[in-house]
Structure 1
Amino acid sequence: MRIVKNIFFIIPVAFCFMNMQCDDDSDDYLGVCDQTTVIDESLYDSLESNNFTILGAEIQNNCLTIEFGASGCDGNSWTYQLVDSGAVAESSPEQRYLKFELLNNEACLAYFEKSISFDLTSLQITGSNKIILHIDGYESSLTYTY
């Protein structure tokens, strides 16, 4: 009788562990990037990319990671956004234009470097699988393949 009770306990527990398997082939990267990318022409036109230096940029999966440096006290109060102009250059592949904004009200002379990532899925174009991204203030263009 005791063996039957143990079996009725062990079988459901075993099924619970088997249900916790991950799907490594998933293309769902939402929640992996730090922030989303904003598409807004008027906001793009009003942004000024200054008071920081873009040190590098890299695309992995659907995230664009921007490494940058700026002066400040510790960088903990900084806020960021990546804004797309909404315009798509009809070329092959298509091209999009972005600005990175850092809001930094820290009045210290220390210099800090940080990285932040942005979800690029909102920039995807139906019928295409590749876009050239131009980031204002960054010398190189990036190819986003999805």
Structure 2
Amino acid sequence: MIWLCLFALISCDSDDDNNTNYAGNCDFNTLISADLFANAPDDPLSITNFEINENCLVLELSSSGCDGNTWEVQLIDSDQLLESFPVQRNIRLSLQNMELCDAVISKTFSFDLTELQVPESNQVNLNLTNSGDQILYEYE
């Protein structure tokens, strides 16, 4: 019996937490902070693609670097609701990039949007200030 339990523990795959289909399993939480929105790192980046998958905003970005493994990214909400229909929120992608290589690297990150939901509605427009795009986030 002990061997069976030990075998079950050893055979568990540690990569289960790294699910890449983003269905309710985003890489990062979205932060809500007026201070961070204004003051978080703002290193140069280009948002090359985005989509909403379930409650995750999936962003593909490119920036200079060696391999992008040391990049620190945050999706930050300005902590303000802009009254319209639907309600709007300003968000921005913060990148801290200390890599000193000239290559252009692309990476994909996902951010949980559930904290940005507005109780009176089932949708909110997200103004992505880094790209000038507006993204309609619909939820139940």
Normalising by structure 1, report the TM-score: 0.76
Of all paired residues, the percent bearing the same amino acid is 39
- For residues 16-95 of structure 1, the aligned pairs below 5 Å read 29=24, 32-47=25-40, 49-95=42-88
Q: Which runs of 5+ in 2 are unaligned?
A: 1-22
Which of these residues, 115, 121, 127, is aligned with residue 122 of structure 1? 115
**1:47–1:99 Cα contact (<8 Å) kept:** no
How far residue 47 of structure 1 moved from its aligned partner, in angstroms, is 3.3
- Structure 2 residue aligned with 1:101: 94
Calculate the aligned-residue CA RMSD, in Å.
Answer: 1.3
**1:130–1:144 Cα contact (<8 Å) kept:** yes
Q: Which runs of 5+ in 1 are unaligned?
A: 1-27
**1:59–1:65 Cα contact (<8 Å) kept:** yes
Give the total of aligned pairs: 117
Q: Which has the larger radius of gyration?
A: 1
How far residue 40 of structure 1 moved from its aligned partner, in angstroms, is 0.3
**1:49–1:136 Cα contact (<8 Å) kept:** no
- Structure 2 residue aligned with 1:143: 136
Normalising by structure 2, report the TM-score: 0.79
